[in-house]
């Protein structure tokens, strides 16, 4: 069975390459592989306009008066000689300017040829902290830090533990204690909004917090194993763990429900996408177009004011690793240029496997925060152990091909899909043994509705309790809209630790 490993298309980026069928051409570019070169900045020299000079001619009478004997200069003769002297000065100045310009151009060309400044590259990122000497801005895509040999700086164990968990759709707060080696459910008694800021900064967010009490009955059993209350008299303002004191049970049987972003709320309710229809204004305000040198390559989703989540293969498969050549276009349903944001850093999961497309997740940080509006706002990240129904209200969106082998859609399209269990998707009739725990499938048995080339990195979202949660990331699939070949998506719920770890360890939080 032939499998297309990703849903990013080379011809979406370089459309002229597909149509070249010149008889002199003996080879064609592969659809999924392009070696991207890095070119230096061009050097522009200023052209000096030559001045037009009108030279007076000597009259015939003056020519006839010239003799071999020395005669005193007449006023007309002196005027003519002065004009010639002035002209020679002008010509000398012009020659000097031309020489300086030619020299500057030569120096610029030599610098461009010999000098190649360090270019920041997209960086593979493991859960564990790698050697601090590793500088991704100076190297290629190779990262020699193995994910299981160096422990995280937050725990003495080799397994990374997120300092904060937000559980299930109710966003119930748990805090990890490195000393005790376990998570504590935080009781609402003694909780203050300022504690929410501390927790959200631990998760890498710094834009919005909202907390409320939530009953601890009829909830996930793991939240009933250990409890802690906030101790107002001790603790550091930068570490929520130091505020907590373990207790046997929460005094009021209430925990803390916490939101760190005002997420998952579209401006209005109403399909690239095979078998879909155009999306309405503001319906998916987190959807972005990722552009390489101005060309749409992949989709992505806004998760905070400076972070966009996408797929690792968008950057790795075609070696599109130069950060400065990427732009984030957001706030529009049109594929035409919209609000553009420069990219500061790109991280992709260091365990991404280009053969199997496992761990297909990446994060982009914009140079400046994005301003939220009715058409630009974040989607909700799923919560730990949050479950979504296979027949729930789930949608995909993107500007990708409207049919297999077709063209990009000029407008954002959307389509409703059903989640498909991994047990079914791993059967021989679908993708035998290809679906890992970091993947999930969505679509229909008869196909027809599916994501396609150009949709890679875009969101699979499901609605629950009035909010839209990003369940998956468009990753790969065999063809587009084929029967028993549904789209395969990165299972974002399973990879939350990596996402939060990356947000927490980023050195700059505005």
CATH number for 199:
3.10.250.10
Residue 30 pLDDT? 36
CA dihedral (316, 4, 326, 275) in degrees, to 10, reads: -160
User: Is the Cβ–Cβ distance between 330 and 301 less than 8 Å?
Assistant: no
What percent of the chain shows pLDDT beyond 70?
70
Mean predicted confidence (pLDDT) in 318-343: 90
Which of residues 58 and 385 earns the better pLDDT score? 385
Q: Write phi, then psi, for 367 (nearest 5 degrees).
A: -65, -35
- Confirm whether 360 is a catalytic residue: yes
- The answer to whether 41 is a known catalytic residue is no
What does the mean pLDDT of the chain come to? 77
- Classify residue 242: in a domain, yes or no: yes
DSSP 8-class letter at 410: S
Question: Which of 227, 259, 291 marks a domain boundary?
Answer: 259
Task: Identify whether residues 284 and 379 lie together within a single domain.
Answer: yes
Within a domain: 483: yes
* Model confidence band, residue 288 (pLDDT cutoffs 50, 70, 90): very high
Rounded Cα gap, residues 428 and 62, in angstroms: 106
Residue 505 phi/psi, 5° resolution? Answer: -90, -5
Catalytic member of 171, 257, 305, 456: 456
Whether residues 345 and 288 fall in one domain? yes
> Sorting pLDDT into bands at 50, 70 and 90, what band is 136?
low
Q: Are residues 337 and 406 in the same domain?
A: yes
* Cβ(385)–Cβ(500) below 8 Å: no
Which of 214, 230, 259 finishes a domain? 259
DSSP conformational letter for 32: S
Is the pLDDT assigned to residue 387 strictly greater than 80?
A: yes
Q: Are 192 and 298 within one domain?
A: no
Tell me: do 179 and 244 sit in the same domain: yes
Regarding whether 236 and 367 lie in a shared domain, the answer is no
| Domain CATH for 468 | 2.40.10.10
Check pLDDT > 80 for residue 320: yes
Q: From the candidates 195, 271, 296, 313, give the one annotated as an active-site residue.
A: 313
pLDDT given for residue 274 in this prediction:
56
Q: Which of 226, 259, 292 is the last residue of a domain?
A: 259
Query: Does some domain include residue 12?
Result: no
309 and 395 in a common domain: yes
Residue 456 falls in the annotated catalytic set:
yes
Strands (E), 362-456: 362-366, 394-398, 413-420, 439-443
Q: Are residues 352 and 230 in the same domain?
A: no
**In the prediction, which pLDDT does 74 show?**
57
119 domain residue, yes or no:
no
The mean pLDDT of 14-26, rounded to a whole number, is 43
Task: Pick the catalytic residue from 12, 125, 358, 360.
Answer: 360
- With H, G, I as helix, E, B as strand and everything else as coil, classify residue 77: helix
Contact 487, 41 (CB under 8 A): no
- Which of 42-46, 112-116, 306-310, 360-364 is predicted with the least confidence, judged by mean pLDDT? 42-46
The mean pLDDT of 383-387, rounded to a whole number, is 88
Say yes or no to pLDDT of 510 above 90: no
Residue scoring higher pLDDT (260 or 47): 260
Structure tokens at 267: 């401006």
The domain tally of the chain equals 2
Q: Is the pLDDT of residue 130 over 90?
A: no
Q: Which of 417, 424, 403 is nearest to 487 (CA)?
A: 417
Whether 61 is covered by a domain: the verdict is: no
Per the structure, the complete domain to which residue 370 belongs is given by 277-505
Q: Per-residue pLDDT averaged across 330-352, rounded?
A: 90
- Contact between 419 and 389 under an 8 Å Cβ cutoff? The reply is yes
Report whether 48 contacts 94 (CB < 8 A).
yes
* Residues 225, 364 within the same domain: no
Verdict on whether the full-model pTM lies above 0.85: no
In a domain, 139, yes or no: no
Asked if residue 333 belongs to a domain, the reply is yes
Q: List, for residues 392-422, the tens digit of each pLDDT value.
A: 899 999 999 888 878 899 999 999 999 999 9
């Amino acid at each position: 069975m032939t499998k297309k490993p990703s849903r990013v298309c080379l011809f979406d980026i370089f459309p002229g390459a597909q149509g070249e069928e010149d008889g002199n051409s003996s080879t064609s570019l592969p659809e999924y592989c392009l070696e991207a070169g890095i070119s230096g900045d061009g050097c522009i020299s200023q052209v000096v306009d030559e001045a037009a000079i009108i030279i007076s001619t000597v009259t015939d009478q003056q020519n006839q008066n010239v003799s071999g004997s020395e005669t005193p200069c007449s006023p007309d003769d002196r005027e003519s000689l002065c004009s010639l002297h002035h002209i020679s000065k002008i010509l000398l100045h012009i020659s000097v300017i031309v020489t300086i310009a030619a020299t500057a151009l030569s120096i610029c060309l030599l610098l461009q040829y010999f000098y190649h400044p360090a270019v920041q590259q997209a960086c593979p990122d493991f859960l564990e902290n790698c050697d601090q000497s590793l500088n991704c801005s100076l190297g290629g895509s190779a990262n020699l830090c193995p994910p299981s040999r160096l422990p995280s700086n937050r725990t003495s164990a080799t397994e990374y533990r997120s300092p904060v968990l937000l559980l299930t759709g109710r966003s119930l707060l748990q805090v990890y204690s490195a000393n005790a080696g376990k998570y504590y459910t935080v009781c609402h008694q003694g909780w203050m909004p300022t504690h929410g800021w501390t927790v959200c900064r631990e998760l890498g967010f710094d834009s919005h917090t909202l907390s409320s009490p939530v009953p601890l009955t009829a909830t996930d059993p793991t939240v009933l194993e250990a409890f802690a209350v906030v101790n107002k008299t001790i603790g550091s303002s930068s570490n929520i763990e130091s505020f907590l004191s373990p207790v046997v049970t929460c005094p009021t049987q209430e925990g803390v429900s916490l939101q760190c972003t005002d997420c998952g709320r579209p401006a209005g309710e109403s399909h690239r996408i095979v078998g879909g229809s155009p999306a309405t204004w503001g319906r998916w305000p987190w959807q972005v177009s990722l552009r390489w040198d101005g060309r749409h390559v992949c989709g992505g989703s806004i998760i905070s004011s400076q972070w966009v989540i996408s797929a690792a293969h968008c950057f790795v498969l075609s070696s599109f690793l130069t950060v400065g050549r990427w732009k984030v276009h957001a706030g529009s349903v049109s594929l035409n240029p919209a609000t553009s944001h420069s990219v500061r850093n790109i991280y992709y999961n260091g365990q991404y496997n280009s053969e199997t497309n496992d761990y297909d997740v990446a994060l982009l940080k914009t140079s400046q925060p994005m301003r939220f509006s009715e058409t630009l706002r974040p989607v909700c990240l799923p919560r730990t152990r949050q479950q979504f129904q296979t027949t729930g209200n789930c949608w995909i969106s993107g500007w990708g091909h409207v049919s297999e082998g077709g063209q990009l859609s000029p407008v954002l399209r959307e389509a409703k899909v059903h989640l498909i269990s991994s047990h079914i998707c791993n059967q021989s009739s679908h993708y035998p043994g290809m679906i890992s725990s970091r993947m999930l499938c969505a679509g229909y048995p008869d196909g027809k509705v599916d994501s396609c080339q150009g949709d890679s990195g875009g969101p699979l979202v499901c609605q629950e309790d009035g909010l839209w949660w990003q369940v998956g990331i468009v990753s790969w699939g065999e063809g587009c809209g084929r029967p028993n070949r549904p789209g395969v998506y990165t299972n974002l719920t399973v990879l939350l630790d990596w996402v939060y770890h990356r947000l927490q360890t980023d050195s700059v939080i505005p």
